[in-house]
């Protein structure tokens, strides 16, 4: 099976022009089919502040009322997505920007309003890869922002980590899928205060042990649950670390496999 | 040759939820390949005001400084484009949003800063139809906003009428191309104060006469020049009028042909 790389980048890259330029230059050198997924970084909150729309977060997740949905649609699908597409084109990557509404690629349902009402937040129910495969086979690189739709005309704010893993699962049917989560640390750390304490390999057993020992806790648990969910559903490998791991095989990072 | 319809809508539809809903419902009923091109309407100026970015227009065209480029990228490619895509999906049209940077579809050069410096304004130099044809052949409907790129990483604000005509010209190579400009009047009027005075057909000779008689003047001249430029470059027909002309053959409107 052909290998596809699905790469998710977050705020630490998007918020920093130098980091983004460097990432894009390197991402462009990856050969073979690839998909980029980006979050929104601080820009959405900055625009909300300028427009005097209150920013409300619960458990680290944005509550998306109608005004906030407008803002994230402008920032994620407009400013961030199209600037990344233009930069990739300048680096000879034939990029094409997507929300989940585009070509019906990612369908969600609005999250139930109980126990917590997150507003226009979407939980993914279906990924359609056919148009994406057609484009990949023709040398196009899809670039997804963190927005999906419900097929009834509503855009929905959707976690970028989940978009990356659900894309990876869907591509797992026809490809050997490698999923990369790029963030500001070298990987999952045994000791959060020691950047050199990267855990280089985690499988299901060691994951359980690390949770029992409370080495992995709080915000990392849903992130790693998401990764193991992907691995249990035909994704070949998940890598977590700084973007260098994508381009330099010697870079220390965390590799997850079953 | 297969027929393709390229439809441009402007502010009178985009700024009015009812008009947009009605347009989308009707556009969805058009069978065969079609492309939608939309302008930005008043939303960009409204957002600029909220963000305290001065709006500067010269000869009816926006001067696009860096802050303004951010705003139009957010409004055109984000808010307007993605909401139209989601609405089309709800009406069973498999839409996919584009700027000219996406899939390298429309390449421009930044307009020379003399005699007037319009800032990040793009003049189209190349339209690549190959990816668009691939998508159209697979049942996808491209939806373009009024942004292109220079292939060097810069997005450029580009007149939506021109995007529509340049797309039509490029598709004229392989398709019988019909270009529709939807606006708030029933067509080109012989007397601007009389909405019933639609000129139903204009060819090159009558266009010259109408200009000589000053029936056509000011802002309509560049618009019609743009239409005749398309007709001289393999576009089959240009239609100007209210959106009803698209769905009801009996609707009075202006038909341009050589």
DSSP states of B135-171: HHHTT-EEEE-SEEE-SSS-EEE--HHHHHHHHHHHH
What range defines the domain where residue A127 resides?
A: 3-256
Q: Do B153 and A79 touch (CB under 8 A)?
A: no
Residue A83 has pLDDT above 90, yes or no: yes
Average pLDDT over residues B160-181: 97
pLDDT for A57 equals 87
Q: What gap in Å lies between CA B244 and CA A4, rounded to an integer?
A: 46
- Interchain CB distance below 8 Å, A74 and B76: no
Q: Does the beta-carbon distance from A78 to B83 stay under 8 Å? A: no
Amino acid A159: pLDDT: 94
**Shortest CB distance from B89 goes to which of A51, A82, A104?**
A104
Rounded CA-CA distance B178/A153 in Å is 28
- Residue A3: pLDDT band by 50, 70, 90 thresholds? very high
| More confident position, B41 or B160 | B160
* pLDDT, position B248: 85
User: Confidence class of residue A249 from pLDDT cuts 50, 70 and 90?
Assistant: confident
Task: Report the alpha-carbon distance of residue A148 to residue A171 in Å, rounded.
Answer: 17
Mean per-residue pLDDT, B197-225: 93
Q: Is pLDDT at A41 greater than 80 in this prediction?
A: no
Positive or negative: CA dihedral A193, A196, A197, A199: positive
pLDDT score for A218: 83
> What pLDDT shows up at residue A247?
86
Question: What is the average per-residue pLDDT within B54-66?
Answer: 87
Say if residue A217's pLDDT is above 90.
no
Angstrom distance (rounded) from CA B148 to CA B222 = 20
pLDDT level of residue B181 (50, 70, 90 thresholds)? very high
**Quick check: A209 pLDDT over 80?**
yes
Rounded CA gap, A142 and A36, in Å?
6
Cis-peptide into B107, omega within 30 deg: no
Average pLDDT, chain A: 94
The pair of structure tokens assigned to A251 is: 């870079």
Say what the pLDDT of residue B11 is.
87
> What per-residue confidence (pLDDT) applies to B121?
96
Q: Residue A219: is its pLDDT beyond 90?
A: no
Which of B20, B27, B82, B137 to substitute to test the interface with A, most A CBs within 10 Å? Answer: B82
Q: What is the CATH number of the domain that holds A80?
A: 3.40.1160.10
Distance CA B227, CA B240 (A): 10
pLDDT at A176: 97
Query: Mean pLDDT, chain B, as a whole number?
Result: 94
| DSSP result, A19-49 | HHHHHHHHHTT--S-EEEEE--TTHHHHHHH
Q: What's the token pair of residue B242?
A: 């209210």
In this model, does residue A253 exceed pLDDT 90? yes
Q: Answer yes or no: is the ipTM higher than 0.90.
A: yes
Q: Is the pLDDT of residue B164 over 90?
A: yes
Which residues have a Cβ under 8 Å from the Cβ of B46 and sit 6 or more positions away? Answer: none
How many domains would you assign to chain B? Answer: 1
Residue B95: is its pLDDT beyond 90? yes
**Mean pLDDT on A89-108:** 98
Residues A129-186: tens digit of each pLDDT: 999 999 999 999 999 999 999 999 999 999 999 999 999 999 999 999 999 999 889 9
* Chain A nearest C-alpha distance from B204 (Å): 39
Q: Tell if the CB–CB gap between B153 and A103 is shorter than 8 Å.
A: no
Name the closest residue on chain B to residue A100, using Cα atoms: B86
CA distance B74 to chain A (A): 4
Which of A63, A65, A68, A60 is closest to A11 using CA atoms? A60
The pLDDT tens digits for B103-136 are 999 999 999 999 999 999 999 999 999 999 999 9
**Percentage with pLDDT > 70 across chain A:** 100
Query: What's the average model confidence in pLDDT over A49-70?
Result: 89
Percent of chain B with pLDDT over 70: 100
Residues B101, A94: C-beta atoms closer than 8 Å: no
| B28 vs A contacts (CB less than 8 Å) | none
B201: Cβ–Cβ under 8 A, 6 or more apart, which residues? Answer: B254, B255, B256, B257
């Amino acid at each position: 099976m052909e290998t596809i790389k699905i790469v998710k980048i977050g705020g630490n890259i998007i918020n920093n022009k130098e980091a983004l330029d460097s990432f894009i230059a390197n991402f462009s050198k990856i050969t073979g089919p690839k998909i980029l997924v980006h979050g929104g970084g601080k820009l959405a909150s900055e625009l909300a502040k300028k427009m005097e729309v209150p920013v409300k977060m619960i458990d680290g997740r944005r509550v998306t009322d109608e005004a906030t949905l407008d803002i994230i649609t402008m920032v994620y699908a407009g400013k961030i997505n199209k600037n990344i597409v233009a930069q990739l084109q300048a680096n000879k990557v034939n990029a094409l920007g997507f929300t989940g509404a585009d070509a019906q690629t990612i369908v969600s349902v609005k999250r139930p309003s109980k126990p917590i009402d997150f507003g226009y937040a979407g939980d993914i129910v279906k990924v359609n890869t056919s148009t994406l495969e057609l484009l990949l086979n023709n040398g196009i690189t899809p670039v997804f922002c963190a927005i999906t739709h419900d097929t009834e005309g509503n855009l929905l704010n959707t976690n970028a980590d989940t978009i990356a893993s659900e894309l990876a699962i869907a591509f797992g049917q026809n490809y050997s899928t490698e999923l990369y989560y790029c963030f500001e640390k070298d990987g999952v750390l045994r000791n959060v205060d020691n950047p050199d304490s990267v855990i280089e390999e985690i499988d299901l057993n060691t994951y359980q042990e690390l949770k029992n020992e409370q080495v992995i806790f709080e915000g990392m648990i849903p992130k790693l649950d998401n990764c193991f969910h992907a691995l249990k559903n035909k994704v070949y490998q998940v890598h977590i670390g700084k973007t260098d791991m994508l381009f330099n095989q010697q870079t220390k990072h965390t590799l997850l496999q079953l």
